[in-house]
Amino acid sequence: MSIEAKFKKLGTDNAPGQEGRQQSAGIESLMRGSALAGRPVDFSHGDVDAHEPTPGSFELFSAGVSLGGAQAYTEYRGDIGIRELVAARLADFTGAPVDAANGMIITPGTQGALFLAVAATVTRGDKVAIVQPDYFANRKLVEFFEGEMLPVQMDYVNADETRAGLDLTQLEDAFKAGAKVFLFSNPNNPAGVVYSADEIRQIATLAAQYDATVIADQLYSRLRYSDVTYTHLRAQAISAENVVTIMGPSKTESLSGYRLGVAFGSKAVIARMEKLQAIVSLRAAGYSQAVLRSWFAEADGWMDDRIRQHQAIRDDLLSVLRATEGVFARTPQAGSYLFPRLPALAIPHADFVKILRLQAGVIVTPGTEFSPHTGDSVRLNFSQDHQAAVAAVERLVALVERYRA
């Protein structure tokens, strides 16, 4: 593949946070009516001013700076003291051992972990099973390394609310067709659904049977709402060498500005990831690594409060959306993404997303980023100021009415 072709596939025009670089020429001719007033809300990512970073994070960073060179220049896989702290907590959280010395790496964000994990397992021509819909970078990563994507549908719309709705037959078919890697997010980004214990066990069984590596992106697995049961793949019947789990404090903990993530599990894959990290960016920023000291050790009640606040926002947004004819929105069981499906409109949904930004000050991520089959949906990260988010979704549904087919 020529380098032009390779980068053409890597489109970021609709990527969250890049809206400012979009060309919107010609969109005015499609517009109806005047702008809707209201505080702009950027649902493409969480608002860390509304939900602030974990208390004490900056002080830990500051202490890291005071440590000087020892904190600035860590092993590429991260400071061993911090790895030991975090590994023990991740083992507790996931219910399976984490080897701080050889089975874990600290990365620049969970994006950094995903990049390294895919690079360490996928090369030209390799088949990779990818869920549709799922985090948009998954597909781009596979394409960048010239792997072949085998899509596996997740029918979150029609599934029983206790299941994510993964098509396990299609997953097995992908393995039968030669997929050696399965990459998925749980809770799912963008749909906010959690895989049932049964789905996770079946994934584990199939991966073991076909000797596939599973990369499990569990970025949002701490932010779980009432009554959800969460099952960690790595604690199921699968060889520890066949799973890499990815997490990080950028979302629920609002620590994105420090760029921190971790990957843990397969020692062989982690070793490759570190080799690559050495030429990608050396290490997660040394001083930032110190911020991980408080991860999974936040003050009592802090996480409960954070979950309660997000659940309240979620419920209010769902009420507004569900009062609108033709909108489908499944209740997110975890994380801070809503992925409503909009009704048929008189203009293409892609244009609606642009108009929503220009006429209502509301930024959402178009559904096409997550699956070719979800072009009528939009993703909202509802980790926002509560009142501003409700008002913004009210503007969104007002524009749905205005542009309804």
Residue 120 binds to a copy of itself (criterion: CB under 8 A) = yes
Per CB under 8 A, 23 contacts a copy of itself: no
Closer to a copy of itself by Cβ: residue 123 or 229: 123
CB of 260 to a copy of itself, least distance (A): 9
- Using CB under 8 A as the binding rule, whether residue 21 contacts a copy of itself is answered as yes
Which one among 36, 43, 60, 76 touches a copy of itself, defined by CB under 8 A?
76
If one asks whether residue 3 binds a copy of itself (CB under 8 A), the answer comes out as: yes
Site map (CB under 8 A) of a copy of itself, residues 345-374, x = contact? ------------------------------
Rg (CA), the chain: 21
Count of C-beta atoms within a 10 Å radius of residue 51:
21
Q: Which of 25, 37, 237, 279 binds a copy of itself (CB under 8 A)?
A: 279
Question: Any contact of residue 17 with a copy of itself (CB under 8 A)?
Answer: yes
Residues 31-60 that bind a copy of itself (CB under 8 A): 45, 47-49, 52, 58
State the angle between helix axes of 386-403 and 349-360 in degrees (0 to 180), rounded to the nearest 10: 130
Give the sign of the dihedral formed by CA 255, CA 303, CA 166, CA 318: negative
Residue 22 touches a copy of itself, criterion: CB under 8 A:
no
Is residue 388 a contact residue for a copy of itself (CB under 8 A)? no
Binding site for a copy of itself (CB under 8 A): 1-3, 6-7, 10-12, 15, 17-18, 20-21, 45, 47-49, 52, 58, 61-62, 64-65, 68-69, 71-76, 107-109, 111-112, 114-115, 120-124, 126, 137, 140-141, 144, 256-259, 272, 274-276, 278-288
